[in-house]
Structure 1
Amino acid sequence: MGADLAVVLPGQAALAIECKYTDDLSYVVRDGYHQGMTYLAELAEVNRLAAVAVVGPDGVVPLGTRTMTALGSIDLVPSATLAAWVTTAGSFDHA
C-alpha cells in the first residue's frame, strides 16, 4: 500500500489518507480518486470497512465531497478539516 498514512485493524476497519498538496483541483480529484480506489481495493482484502481521505489545500478542495463505492468511501478533505474527518470516518457511520 502506498498511502501517505494508513491505519489498519486487520479484520475490523481501515483508514487511508492520501495528500495532494497542489492548487490544481483536477489533479487532486483525478489522481486522488484513482489512488483512493486502489487503496480501497487493497484494504478490502483484509477489512470489511474502509475509508479514504484525499487531502488537499484549504480553498482548493471543496468541503463535504464524498464518493461511495462498493468497497468504501473516498472523501475530498480540506487540510483544516482532516482531524474532524478522522474522527467521523473512524465511526463508519457512513459505511
Structure 2
Amino acid sequence: VLMMAWMNRASIEETLAEGQVCYWSRSRQTYWRKGESSGHRQRLISMKLDCDGDTLLLLVDQQGPACHTNRRDCFFYEITPDRVILTSNPDSGLNAS
C-alpha cells in the first residue's frame, strides 16, 4: 500500500507507543489517526529512517483501503510522456488493476 502523509515528533512518539499510526494533518492542523472515522486502520509493523534523517518509511498492516477515495492506495494515476492514466477505480477495494 502506498500513501504519503506528514508526521511530527508527537505523532511519531504516539505511533511507536500505541502501535496505531498517527499522522499530523497539515490542512486541519491536528492529529489524524488513520481509520478513526473509516475503520481502515494502520497498525505499525516497522518504522525506518532514511540516510539523511528527514524521511520515514512505515510498514503497516492496512485494514481496508488506505486512500480516502476508497482505493487500495493514494497513487492511482500513472504519468506517461503523453498522458495520465487512471489505474484503479473507486470501490475497487484492495484490487488494483
**TM-score, normalized by length of structure 1?**
0.27
Rg larger in structure: 2
**TM-score, normalized by length of structure 2?**
0.27
Structure with more helix by fraction: 1
Structure with the bigger RCO (C-alpha within 8 Å, sep 6+) is: 1
